[in-house]
């Protein structure tokens, strides 16, 4: 296993950055408070990693994840912590979740809200993309498995089986798809 992985898993007391629905920072709250019930808007990101052939690397969320376990997701998904930019956060989590050190490019952001079993995602979410020629070494605490898929095949699969993908992955592709593919 890659020595870059953080094997501690989700920390309910982790301090997150609160935002309004336009991404303006409004303070801080615990991860627990940001996700319970209706949640509180906070700063997050999802990052796509592409391989040398421009395939996207998707991650299936671990069964122990508190929100949307076992659904397919972007390569790296997490929160921007106090003092970080979205690109720095994506690089940190790229090392911890996928064992790769990548410089990510921010392609845009969007706000979304979605409920899940008495909890919610209430996030202003940046979408990033980066590339690596190395094989990923995924963190089994965060990720069940990974796979590579072309962008056109991913779009077809989402249309065929939308319930097997996280809500924010689908939203990111709807809002920013050409930027993701051509970045």
**Domain membership flag for residue 22:** yes
- Predicted local distance difference test score (pLDDT) of residue 11: 76
Whose tokens are 């392609």? That residue is 107
Confidence of residue 84 (pLDDT cuts 50, 70, 90): very high
Cβ atoms of 44 and 78 within 8 Å: the answer is yes
Which neighbouring-strand residues pair with 114?
Answer: 121
Residue 2, domain member (yes or no)? no
pLDDT at 182: 46
Residue 6 lies in a domain: no
Quick check: is 7 in a domain?
no
Any domain includes 4: no
Q: Residue 41 is part of a domain; what is its CATH number? A: 3.90.79.10
Rounded Cα distance between 67 and 50, Å, is 25
State the pLDDT at residue 80.
Answer: 95
Q: Confidence class of residue 63 from pLDDT cuts 50, 70 and 90?
A: very high
- Going by pLDDT thresholds of 50, 70 and 90, the confidence category of residue 14 is confident
Give the whole-angstrom CA distance, residue 125 versus residue 108.
9
Residue 9 maps to a domain: no
Asked whether residue 8 is assigned to any structural domain, the reply reads no
In which domain, by residue range, is 63 found?
15-182
Average pLDDT over residues 109-127: 90
Mind listing the pLDDT tens digit for each residue in 136-183? 999 998 999 999 999 999 999 999 999 999 999 999 988 766 555 544
Going by pLDDT thresholds of 50, 70 and 90, the confidence category of residue 115 is confident
Average pLDDT across the chain, whole number: 89
Neighbours of 71 (CB within 10 A): 17
The more confident residue out of 90 and 7 is 90
Count of domains in the chain? 1
Please tell me the distance from the alpha carbon of residue 149 to that of residue 128, in angstroms, as a whole number. 17
The verdict on residue 45 lying in a domain is yes
Contact 31, 67 (CB under 8 A): no
Mean pLDDT of 21-41: 93
Higher-confidence residue of 177 and 1: namely 177
Percent of the chain with pLDDT over 70: 90
Mean pLDDT over 40-55 rounds to 94
Q: Does residue 1 have a pLDDT over 70?
A: no
Q: Which residue has the tokens 């609160």?
A: 18
């Amino acid at each position: 296993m890659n020595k870059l992985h953080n094997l501690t898993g989700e920390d309910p007391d982790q301090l997150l950055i609160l935002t309004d629905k336009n991404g303006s920072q409004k303070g801080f709250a615990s991860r627990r408070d940001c996700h319970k019930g209706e949640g509180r808007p906070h700063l997050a990101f999802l990052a796509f990693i592409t391989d040398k052939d421009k395939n996207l690397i998707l991650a299936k969320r671990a069964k122990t994840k508190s929100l949307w376990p076992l659904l397919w997701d972007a390569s790296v998904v997490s929160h921007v912590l106090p003092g970080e930019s979205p690109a720095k956060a994506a690089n940190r989590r790229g090392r911890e979740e996928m064992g790769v050190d990548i410089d990510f490019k921010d392609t845009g952001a969007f706000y979304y809200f979605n409920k899940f079993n008495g909890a919610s995602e209430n996030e202003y979410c940046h979408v990033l993309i980066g590339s690596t020629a190395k094989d990923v070494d995924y963190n089994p605490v965060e990720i069940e498995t990974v796979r590579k898929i072309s962008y056109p095949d991913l779009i077809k699969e989402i249309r065929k089986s939308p319930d097997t993908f996280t809500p924010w992955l689908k939203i990111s592709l709807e809002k920013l798809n050409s930027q993701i593919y051509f970045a």
